[in-house]
Amino acid sequence: MLEKIKKQFWMIDALLKTDFTTKKQLVTNFLTAKKKYIPKEKRDANIDSLLKCALCPNMCRFDCPVSMAEKSESSSPAGKMKIAYFLETGKIQPSESAIDLMYKDVNCDACKQWCPFGFSIGELLIGVRNDLVKKGLVPERLVQFKEKLEENHTIYEGGIKSLCLDKNKKSKVLYIAGCTTLNGRREVADSTVTILERAGIDYTTLSEEWCCGAPLYVLGFRDSFQKFVNHNLNAIKETECETIIFSCPECLYTFKELYPQSRLKVEMQHTSQFFLKLIEEGKLGPMELDEEYVFHDPCILSRKLEIAEEPREVLKNISKLKLKETYFNKKDTKCCGSGGMLGVTDQKLSSEIAKDRVLELKECSNSIVSACPACEKAFKEADDKIKVLDISEVILKGIKNA
């Protein structure tokens, strides 16, 4: 609350400095006039918030990876909200460029750090996209992406959906690797199961892992997302697990924040949290690794899930490991470019953002460690010379080396 008041203090200060007539007019307009700008029909988009966006010094645009990469005001958080408002209210034609703009976003919440209203533009855009779906205005390539995902149950066409461990048994601990781990960073899943086995954890996996559904939710395909939720909840129930561990922060966020918690009464943890617990219980034994890494905070993990200390604590337990910190770290981290499905909606922009972040990280070290298979994949694709490892891979190296 105090944080919110502090963020809004400049408004109070500006208001106090104006004369009485202006003050009265401003307050009256703010409280009443906006009603005439808000359409009566019900929508998913939060029109009130779209209107309020930019009633501020607009500083968030300097932290927005999309506007910094595009160098354009229309791609800034407030720019997108203005176009969204005009699209929602029919004040502009739904041109291809205006609609494409609604998908130029990594849903990283960097804007939320600045925003006096606490807006996450990424989240506000999801409401706008839901309305575009209802109006049949979604770009054809995204409709095709959704159809393929519904058919394959993974975002990777022809991709694998299982660790093939022949687990599919009942256990208190369930490990969900996620589509990107299974298909783009298999080493992460392999390291994780090796660590679990070394620690003597009795765990299970799903015989067929369906995508968590986040891509569908983020792109506004709510009905389709619901089908994935129902399938996954039933599959999880059959395992009788009490804890689920995830390699992918996006999967963890989706299960924890977007699935109905009344139907999912289990503890959910990121692998970094689970590994830290294993270390504290003395189940991983000594670890040693004389190497240097810079840690990249995945934005979903550090901002949306507020998990920033646990991966660092894990790495501090590996003796001789030198951990570097970049200026933009923890809650001030920068996105890898693959958030918000930008890799699907605008691959070129997504890879530009990844390259920008790699350059920042390289100022500290040529070896990156992170805790998200999607970030790691994006960095590897952005710079094939840089070393990128997941926290699970570094732990395993540390165990083998000790």
Interacting residues toward ligand SF4 by CB under 6 A = 53-54, 56, 58, 60, 64-66, 77-78, 105-111, 114-115, 117, 119-122
Count CB-CB contacts under 10 A for residue 370. Answer: 26
DSSP 152-213: HSSSSTT----------S--SEEEE--HHHHHH-HHHHHHHHHHHHHTT--EE--SSPPP-S
Give me the least distance between CB of 8 and ligand SF4, in Å please: 11
How far is it, in rounded angstroms, from Cα 4 to Cα 322? Answer: 37
Give me the least distance between CB of 74 and ligand SF4, in Å please: 12
**Toward ligand SF4, which CB reaches closer, 107 or 130?**
107
The sheet with strand 322-324 has its strands ordered as 322-324, 292-295, 367-370, 387-390
β-bridge mates for residue 294, sequence order: 324, 368
Q: How far is CA 351 from CA 65, 185, 344, in A?
A: 11, 18, 11
**Toward ligand SF4, which CB reaches closer, 85 or 228?**
85
**Toward ligand SF4, which CB reaches closer, 20 or 327?**
327
Q: Which helix (H) or strand (E) holds 119?
A: none
**Toward ligand SF4, which CB reaches closer, 65 or 298?**
65
Give me the least distance between CB of 79 and ligand SF4, in Å please: 9
Closest C-alpha to 299, from 254, 333, 257, 259: 333
Q: Which helix (H) or strand (E) holds 56?
A: none
At CA 240, angle to CA 235 and CA 242, rounded to 5? 110
Give me the least distance between CB of 156 and ligand SF4, in Å please: 24
**Toward ligand SF4, which CB reaches closer, 111 or 287?**
111
**Toward ligand SF4, which CB reaches closer, 174 or 301?**
301
Give me the least distance between CB of 109 and ligand SF4, in Å please: 5
How far is it, in rounded angstroms, from Cα 236 to Cα 251? Answer: 14
Q: What are phi and psi of 322, to 5 degrees?
A: -100, 120
**Toward ligand SF4, which CB reaches closer, 64 or 174?**
64
Give me the least distance between CB of 360 and ligand SF4, in Å please: 16
How far is it, in rounded angstroms, from Cα 26 to Cα 218? Answer: 36
Entry field: residues in the chain: 402
Give me the least distance between CB of 2 and ligand SF4, in Å please: 18
**Toward ligand SF4, which CB reaches closer, 56 or 216?**
56
Give me the least distance between CB of 46 and ligand SF4, in Å please: 12
What does the block give as tokens for 83? 């176009």
How far is it, in rounded angstroms, from Cα 74 to Cα 28? Answer: 29
Give me the least distance between CB of 384 and ligand SF4, in Å please: 25
**Toward ligand SF4, which CB reaches closer, 77 or 298?**
77
H helices, E strands: number in the chain: 21, 8
